[in-house]
A and B are shown apart, each in its own frame.
Chain A
């Protein structure tokens, strides 16, 4: 089975940097995704890691260590609009069809 853990909530200040951690225990692994979800809206794709290391995309970066079952999402130069829930999701091996298994989400509040 799959178990995904991430903090329930975090608070940060506008302009600062925040790191949201995610740990997972899986019986197979085929990629890790981060999604952003504003209240009442659908999740939107932020980043994807399948190999160890850092992927950078503008103000957002995501890191993966497969041996440690660990990932983090790094948000720089925080803006008020970054207040949202951030979902970590693991994809099992392709023979399970490509579905994603989501963590509970981390509610990030950005304060002035």
Chain B
């Protein structure tokens, strides 16, 4: 069964350092999402891509966070510099979208990767 791949699974870093996360969505999924999930809370959307274009990055702290999906396939999320409050699980998800012939009749559900757990010391 196709899966969303993420790496690294775990990352420990010191504050002020740079950190990067990688995501490879399910083949054929045009839409890719990065969510942040703080322990005990629900996932919060950081950025959404449609192919290589950003659809929504309104909740992305752009002074320190950046995200790209240059060829419309895999994606990288970067934090520089990391702060203590960035400690969280970073989840990548992908989905088909309405109007996509491959997804006709699909629910548009999001498929999540295993996540990257970040600890900032």
Contact = CB atoms under 8 A, between A and B. Distances in A.
Interface of A: 4, 31, 33, 40-45, 48, 87, 89, 91, 94, 96-105
B86 to A, nearest CB: 18
B50 A97 contact: yes
A48 B107 contact: yes
Interface string B79-115: 0000000000001000101100000000111111111
B42 A103 contact: yes
* Shortest beta-carbon contacts, A-B, top 5: A102-B42, A42-B112, A97-B55, A48-B107, A45-B109
Given A97-B31, A98-B95, A99-B48, A105 B110 contact: no
A101 B56 contact: no
Given A41-B114, A42-B114, A96 B56 contact: yes
B108 A42 contact: no
16 contacts: A4-B42, A40-B117, A41-B115, A42-B112, A42-B115, A43-B91, A48-B109, A96-B56, A98-B108, A99-B56, A101-B45, A102-B42, A103-B42, A104-B40, A104-B42, A105-B40
B20 to A, nearest CB: 19
A87 B40 CA distance: 11
A43 B43 contact: yes
A40 B97 CA distance: 28
B41 A105 contact: yes
Interface residues of B, number: 27
Contacts of A41: 114-115
Given A43-B43, A87-B43, A104-B41, A98 B98 contact: yes
Contacts of B107: 31, 33, 48
A31 to B, nearest CB: 7
A91 B48 CA distance: 14
B33 interface: yes
B56 A97 contact: yes
Given A43-B110, A43-B112, A96-B56, 18 more contacts: A31-B107, A31-B108, A42-B91, A42-B114, A43-B91, A45-B111, A48-B107, A87-B42, A89-B42, A97-B31, A97-B56, A98-B95, A98-B97, A99-B45, A100-B110, A101-B45, A102-B35, A105-B42
